[in-house]
Amino acid sequence: MKRLTVLTISIFLSLMVLNAQNETDALRYAQIFPMGTARSAGMGGAFGAFGADFSTLSINPAGIGFYRASEFSITPSMDYSMTSSQYLGQKTDDNTSAFFLGNAGFVYSHLTGKQKGLVAINFGIGYNREKNFSNSVIMQGVNNNSSLLDNFAYNADGTPSEDLYAFEEALAWDVYMIDTVNGQPLNYETVFSMWGDNPGSTYGQVQRRILETSGGIGEYVFSLGFNLGNMLYFGGTFGIHSLNYSQHMKHFEKDENGTIQEFDYFTFDEWLNASGTAYSFKLGLLIKPIQVLRIGAAVHFPYSYKLKENYNTYMKAGFDTPVDGITEYESESPFSDYRYGLSTPLKAVGNVGIQIAKFALIGVDVEYVDYTTLKLKNGSDGYDFFDENENIKNAYRSVLNFRAGAEFRFWMMKFRAGAAYYDSPFVDTEINKDAHYLNLTAGLGFRDNHFFFDLAYVYSQHQENYIMYQMPPAQPALIDLYKHNLMATIGYRF
């Protein structure tokens, strides 16, 4: 080794802007998939035109106007996620499960006794789940061309060793995985090219990356709605959105065959914990021009998250022979506490519903969302996120999302089926331009005059490309996500 001493971690001022605040994170927190009650989920979430279901308070608030009795409901839910990755010719599977609350709500209905004019005033308060982050992915393969260390060395070039980025390059420097080139104090090389006559020819290490995520987004709703003449319904929802997200990324590279000179292994761990709150307002309108038809529209105004992130990293490395009498080195970054804002896009929702007597319901919901209007802002260090917001404008686009479903009644039983399609927000030039989400749903329910019980099953499918590092460009890992969600709603009307 050319370096005589192991430097301490870089000064804290060098880490003001983290890798964590970027266009990927903005999309993660803004792209939501309404869950709510089992009745709505069983119809693919296409319940916006019908109302009298607590999930509609988060989709089209006018739906609260359809209530003709007070109600309490609660929806426990379970997710089982399976992932399959293809990386460097190797297929690896993983799975995880999570329990969470899909819905809990109370609606108070006040009937005026009139059939014309103001028929009902209804108020609702409760919680609807918007997104579940629980997932686990393993990517593994033998890399004969590059390493994560190459990315660290590339980013370190031109920077004095004492000023290296405290969360990545400084750790690699501390554990001897990168070092300066002889006679070139601002140029760096990796452990793979420090020995031998043919630098860079000693790849062939096993690479493995594990991504574990947890948490979710939920909306606490406060809604007020009106029924005018059993023909016109309108309402509004004030929402408090609570976000919690945790990610642990573990990257591992090892010379399993013992063919790489001196190098044995290294691990790089990254922890990110984010939490935040936002306030929102939604307005909705529903019209029932004839008994069989319902038409609705809603607007979800943009809202701003205030987010807090805690971030830290850790690196450990081992050598075949001792360096200064030691075969293993480790280094840990500082713990960073960073705050910033996120503004979400406006969302426009259209609803159409057909009710065939008391026999069947058929619903369709359409959402318009322009993801180019996502905006990161107000970094706690004064950072303005100009580059990240430009990346958002260049990488994302507006989309139309579709939900459709049907419900059929037989005696006191109801049978449901549906589908939802959430289009990819990426432009055609992006590697994930086809990364849409597809949900297929089914459900059943039992209802009498007061008590109701609903079950729903949601099967979700998603495929995306994941790039471990940018320089040199790593081969993308193709990840398939299959999620099974089972939920049950228990409710009572009075």
What single-letter DSSP state applies at residue 373? G
Q: Which stretch of 159-168, 241-250, 257-266, 453-462 has the lowest confidence by average pLDDT?
A: 257-266
Residue appearing with tokens 């209804």: 122
Residue whose entry in the numeric block shows the structure tokens 């309402």: 235
Q: What is the CATH number of domain 12-493?
A: 2.40.160.60
SS3 353: strand
**pLDDT above 50 for 144:** yes
Q: Judging by DSSP bridges, how do beta strands 326-332 and 304-323 pair with one another?
A: antiparallel
pLDDT at 15: 32
* Amino acid code (one letter) for 459: Y
C-alpha span between 483 and 103 (Å, rounded):
19
pLDDT at residue 13 in the model: 29
Q: Is the pLDDT of residue 8 over 80?
A: no
What mean pLDDT comes out for the span 157-178?
Answer: 96
Rounded to two decimals, the pTM is: 0.91
Tokens of 390: 């430009």
The amino acid at residue 450 is: H
Q: What does the alpha-carbon distance between residue 69 and residue 107 come to, in Å, rounded to a whole number?
A: 8
For residue 20, the model assigns a pLDDT of 52
Q: b/e per residue, 74-100, with b = 16+ CB within 10 A?
A: bbbbebebbbbbbbbeeebebebebeb
Report which residue type is found at 113: G
Per-residue model confidence as pLDDT tens digits over 444-470: 999 998 999 999 999 999 999 999 999
Q: Where are the domains of the chain?
A: 12-493
Q: Which pLDDT score, from 0 to 100, does residue 14 have? A: 31
pLDDT at 167 over 70: yes
**Residue whose pair of structure tokens reads 């979430």 in the numeric block:** 45
Torsional sign, CA 25, 460, 59, 69: negative
Q: Are 308 and 289 in contact (CB under 8 A)?
A: no
- What band does 283 get if pLDDT is binned at 50, 70 and 90? very high
Sign of the CA dihedral 298, 303, 308, 311? positive
What's the rounded Cα separation, in Å, for the pair 290 and 293? 6
